[in-house]
Amino acid sequence: MQNLNIEETKYTPRIELDASNGTISIVGKSYPENTFEFYEPVMKWLEDYFDGNAQAETKINLEIIYFNSSSSKLFFDLFDLLEEANDANTIIINWIYDEENESALEAGEDFQEDFENLTINLISK
């Protein structure tokens, strides 16, 4: 399976989806004009990955400094997808936030609350 890398832009994060070692990372800001269109290849990649291409353990690092409300919705959809894959896979999610970034922490807490079956670590840096 092909890896997927998307360079960081002013409005979008750096995205690295690595199928060979099972690591996924999304780092940066997320407030594109058309959020769902932007993340479509990412969601598609994840579906393919968990459809028989996943490693024994999948590690997901999310470090989102700034995000719009569409991105927030998108992350819920992403966690839905992960929750579904969680039964058949080992998935560890690290939600990394700056301790001064209250909104990032709150978002992480919301995800923990809504997705009790997922392993979501809140990591302050």
Partner 1 sequence: MVTHENKLIAEIEELKKEFEKTTDKLIKDVKRQDKIMSRSDKRQQQEYDELQKKFLEVEALQREIEDTQKEVVFTMGAIGESRSKETGNHVKRVAQYSKILAHHYGLDEKEAEMLKQASPMHDIGKVAIPDAVLNKPGRFDEEERKIMDTHAQLGYDMLKMSDRPLLKMAATVAYEHHEKWNGKGYPNQLKGEDIHIYGRITALADVFDALGSSRVYKEAWDDERIFKMFKEERGEHFDPQLIDIFFDNLDEFLEVRDSLKDVH
Please select the residue that binds partner 1; options are 25, 72, 94, 119, rule is CB under 8 A.
72
**How many CB atoms are closer than 10 A to CB 93?**
23
β-strands 57-67, 90-97 pairing: parallel
Please select the residue that binds partner 1; options are 16, 18, 83, 110, rule is CB under 8 A.
110
d(CA 13, CA 7): 7
Site for partner 1 in 30-59 (CB under 8 A): none
Could you tell me which stretch among 15-23, 35-43, 70-78, 81-89 binds partner 1 (CB under 8 A)? 70-78
d(CA 40, CA 37): 5
For the CB of residue 73, give the shortest distance to partner 1 in the complex, in Å.
6
For the CB of residue 43, give the shortest distance to partner 1 in the complex, in Å.
17
For the CB of residue 70, give the shortest distance to partner 1 in the complex, in Å.
9
* CB-based burial label for 27 (10 Å; 0-12, 13-18, 19+): middle
Please select the residue that binds partner 1; options are 103, 117, 121, 124, rule is CB under 8 A.
103
